[in-house]
């Protein structure tokens, strides 16, 4: 349950971060995929 919650927070934060980071700068659109893939793992550390 804790794992899924951490993963959920990571996905939500990753999605928001990707949207905020990528939206103003169109050429960096490919970074959105990288951010979405990395943030769930960071979420596991931010919300143990």
Q: What is the DSSP letter of 24?
A: T
Q: What is the pLDDT of residue 34?
A: 75
Residue 35 neighbours by CB under 8 Å, 6+ apart: 14, 17, 18, 21, 22
In terms of DSSP H, where are the helices of 1-48? 2-22, 31-46
φ/ψ (deg, to 5) at 47: -125, 70
pLDDT in tens, the chain (48 residues): 556 777 788 788 877 777 766 556 555 566 667 777 777 777 777 776
């Amino acid at each position: 349950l804790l794992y899924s919650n951490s993963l959920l927070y990571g996905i939500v934060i990753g999605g928001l971060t990707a949207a905020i980071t990528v939206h103003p700068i169109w050429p960096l659109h490919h970074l959105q995929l990288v951010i979405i893939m990395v943030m769930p793992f960071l979420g596991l550390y931010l919300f143990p």
